[in-house]
A and B are shown apart, each in its own frame.
Chain A
């Protein structure tokens, strides 16, 4: 799994690619915490390049989202496709967390 971060307006965009499973998911949480410590609490995770996500990956996302929320920010998602989108739907994460079809939509929210 790889994370590439960039500041875009009020948001910090993390481009996540590869596989987010038990071995790699901790990386995402760490990235988000690093963002938070740098003062970027509003994070958009672009999962367009993500091939696979396991329940451990979901746990990472959940943990990161909770911590960002506690810090007064939020964690939104965009670019979901394929099996990742399916996992988000089936697991109900699409209901728990803000999910947008495109990055533009995610960046356009207030």
Chain B
């Protein structure tokens, strides 16, 4: 792992608030949430699937149960009804072909009632005139009266039983018919139905109905049986006749008063109507429906009672059928939920145990970020990724400390160098003369110079000093390269040139004195020759110049008594001559080489005369090679243009205007070289301030110029000498 030193350092140390907030959504939380979500989803899917599958299975069983229960009830009812219907049938057989006499019939009827407690009464009704030729109605009827079994005879003008349903229907159908149930108020005060069985006489084709045997059967037991049939909790059973009349129904006032069709009509229940139709037809089926009685959805099983043609319905409410499924689902949900909670606790504990070292590491990291580089790191005993992280973090802490140690040392060292450079800069700028005007008390000329270093120290310099009677030397120089080496070389160059200039001036003065004073008795002025100065300085600089550094110098000597200027250039940029009321012009140069490159070089000295108001502008290439952001050079043309249109022509004003113009031209581009300039303006001689020490006035200057060959050691072209 690399050491992202910046990351912990740049983290804002916002303390514990952020940490507790972030903990909520930390790795432990996310891991737990992820695992638990997955488990939860699986659990829900499994529970749902189990629930539905179990429900399907249970529903099938429940359906089967409902069918079985209905069938069971049918069988129980049939088991009692079937023997009852066989009783009148047996009686019918006995009566066939006139098998019994009247007393026998009564005896047999009495015996029947005694044998079958369900039978309330029985009649043997004969065809009109069938028993006795003169008797239209013969129907002995034996029934249970409050005082015991009683006999009576049915039929007469008031009761023409041959037209009654109980007689007519079985007679016509030739088979057992159960009547619609009725409530017998006169007889037993009970629910009854009459089972009518036709009996026959004759054989083969002659066989015909001889009469009908009836048995009035009390149906209270049936009512009780159906009502007591328990179907789950709220389920129930009911019975309808073949006409659809309710025989039993759990709801009050439905039995005997309503039919399944009237009830369907009343509630607008088409489904019940269809069910009723099927039941009356003797159908058997299981349908899913909603109970009118309880309002619950559920299953209705219906099946016919074969002996009576009635139909039994059994309704099982769905929710109770599904109670088992629901309780199963509840139990499995409880188990699953408990397991889920257990798992949640477990996962959270594991996740926290994994992230615990991470949290400790985070606290340590925050401490480190706050600057406590020696914060103790937690020990991670495991050998997992967290351990790797802790190790990497420890490495990072070490290298961070190392880095900061180095940085501190480097900063200290840089600050030391900076401070040394600052002092060096002060020293360097300090050795340049800064007294303006340079010769207090002299108004013959004005001079101003400025130096703007590109770095702390640089290689540019200027200098000016008096160097003889009415003589003033001024120069500007530029050392090759920049920085400290250039600064050293600049200091050496400037000192050497000044020393040489003063020495040459001294020599000139002595020589002048030697040559002239015996003849004229006055100090003959000899102006120091700049070419000579440069030649000697060059030899001094070029000797043992291992670094091959060099310096360009423009050196001039002004005779301020006459305005005459002698000058020489060692590879320096040509200065500008600003004549009053004339365009600026560059002084022509001879292409003399730079100083310090090689020994034995000769420099040409030129002469010109300044008239009052004329000026010389000296500069280094920091001015003309100043660059703007578009990499364009300031250039000599621009310099000349600026100098031509100057308003303020004072030396200081000229310097400042030039500096400002160069600055404006650079428009923010970095200054790459020192910018140095020196402006000298000649004002001419004014009366009253002529004396400089023992120097004589310059009224003999014109005469001096005739001797001013100045070609002491140097070969100079004649073109270089301008005579006033």
Instruction: Name the segment of A6-14, A36-44, A85-93, A100-108 touching the other chain.
Output: A85-93
One digit per residue, 1 when the CB lies within 8 angstroms of any chain B CB and 0 when it does not, for chain A 1-45 equals 000000000000000000000100000000000000000000000
Which residues in A have their C-beta under 8 angstroms from that of B549?
A: 59
Q: Are A58 and B572 in contact (CB-based, < 8 A)?
A: no
Report if A90-B572 is in contact (Cβ < 8 Å); known contacts: A58-B594, A62-B597, A96-B593. yes
Question: Are A63 and B548 in contact, with the CB atoms below 8 A?
Answer: yes
Tell whether A96 pairs with B480 under 8 Å between CB atoms, given A58-B550, A63-B548. no
Q: Which of A39-55 contact B (CB under 8 A)?
A: 55
User: Which residues of the other chain, A, contact B573 by a CB distance below 8 angstroms?
Assistant: 90
Q: Chain B's nearest CB lies how many Å from the CB of A106?
A: 19
A55 touches B591 (CB 8 A): no
Contact of A91 with B598 in the complex, beta carbons under 8 Å: no
Q: Which of A53-71 contact B (CB under 8 A)?
A: 55-56, 58-60, 62-63, 66
Q: Which of B570-596 contact A (CB under 8 A)?
A: 570-574, 589, 591-594
How many angstroms between the C-alpha atoms of A27 and B427 in the bound complex? 33
Q: Among A62, A93, A94, find the residue whose CB has the most chain B CB atoms closer than 10 A.
A: A62
- Which A residue sits closest to B459, measured CB to CB? A55
| Residues of chain B within 8 A of A58, CB atoms compared | 480, 550, 594
**Which of A55, A89, A93 has the largest count of B CB atoms less than 10 A from its CB?**
A55
Decide if A109 is an interface residue (CB 8 Å cutoff): no
Complex CA gap A55/B572 in Å reads 11
> Would A92 and B598 be within 8 Å (CB), given that A59-B480, A62-B548 are in contact?
no
CA distance A95 to B589 in the complex (A): 13
The answer to whether B31 has its CB under 8 Å from any CB of chain A is no
Q: How far is the CB of B528 from chain A (nearest CB, A)?
A: 21
Give the complex CA separation of A91 and B572 in angstroms: 6
Residue B482 at the chain A interface, CB threshold 8 Å:
yes
Cβ–Cβ < 8 Å partners of B597 in chain A: 62, 92-93, 96
Contact of A56 with B601 at beta-carbon distance under 8 Å, contacts A91-B571, A92-B591 already known: no
In whole angstroms, how far apart are the Cα atoms of A63 and B546 in the complex?
8
Residue of B547, B548, B591 contacting most chain A CB atoms (<10 Å): B548
The answer on a CB contact under 8 Å between B571 and A90 is yes
**How far in angstroms is the closest Cβ of chain A from B698?**
33
Does B463 lie at the interface of the complex (its beta carbon under 8 Å from any beta carbon of A)? no
Interface range for A: 10 to 19
Residues of A within 8 A of B593 (CB): 91-93, 95-96
User: CA A92 – CA B571 in complex, angstroms?
Assistant: 5
- In this assembly, does B63 line the interface, its C-beta being within 8 Å of a C-beta of chain A? no
Closest Cβ of chain B to A50, distance in Å, is 16
Task: State in angstroms the CA–CA spacing of A63 and B570 once bound together.
Answer: 18
Is there contact, CB below 8 Å, between A59 and B481? yes
A-facing residues in B156-191 (Cβ within 8 Å):
none
> Is the beta-carbon distance between A93 and B594 smaller than 8 angstroms?
yes
Encode contact with A along B461-491: 1 for CB under 8 Å, 0 otherwise: 0000000000000000011111000000000
In the assembled complex, the Cα of A90 lies from the Cα of B620 at a distance in Å of 12
B443 to chain A, nearest CB (A): 34
User: Is B552 an interface position by the 8 A CB rule?
Assistant: yes
Min CB–CB distance B484 → chain A (angstroms)? 13
CB pair B548–A66 under 8 Å, yes or no, is: yes
Selected from B481, B548, B591, the residue in CB contact (under 8 A) with A22 is: B481
Verify A55–B478 contact, CB threshold 8 A. Answer: yes
B597-616 contacts to A, CB under 8 A, are: 597-598, 601
Please, what's the 1-or-0 string for B618-642, where 1 marks a CB less than 8 Å from any CB in chain A? 0001000000000000000000000
A90 with B591: in contact, given A58-B480, A59-B550 (CB under 8 Å)? yes
Task: Give the chain B neighbours of A93 by CB distance below 8 A.
Answer: 571, 593-594, 597
Q: Which residues of A contact B478 (CB under 8 A)?
A: 55
- A93 CA / B594 CA spacing, docked (Å): 7
Inter-chain contact A59/B548, CB cutoff 8 Å: yes
Give chain A residues whose Cβ lies under 8 Å from the Cβ of B479: 55
The distance in angstroms between the C-alpha atoms of A92 and B573, with both chains bound, is 11
Q: Give Cα distance in the complex from A67 to B457, angstroms.
A: 29
Contact of B591 among A56, A60, A66, A94 (CB under 8 A): A94
Residues of B within 8 A of A56 (CB): 480-482
Task: List 18 A-B pairs, Cβ < 8 Å.
Answer: A22-B482, A55-B481, A55-B621, A56-B481, A58-B480, A58-B594, A59-B480, A59-B481, A59-B548, A59-B549, A90-B573, A91-B593, A91-B594, A92-B593, A92-B594, A92-B597, A93-B597, A95-B593
Q: Can you list the 3 inter-chain pairs with the closest CB atoms, starting with the nearest?
A: A92-B593, A63-B548, A55-B480
Give B contacts to A, CB under 8 Å: 478-482, 547-550, 552, 570-574, 589, 591-594, 597-598, 601, 621
Q: A residues engaging B (CB < 8 A)?
A: 22, 55-56, 58-60, 62-63, 66, 89-96
Other A-B pairs beyond A92-B591, A93-B597, 20, CB < 8 Å: A55-B481, A55-B552, A56-B480, A56-B481, A56-B482, A59-B547, A59-B548, A63-B547, A66-B548, A90-B571, A90-B573, A91-B593, A91-B594, A92-B570, A92-B592, A92-B594, A93-B571, A93-B594, A95-B592, A95-B593
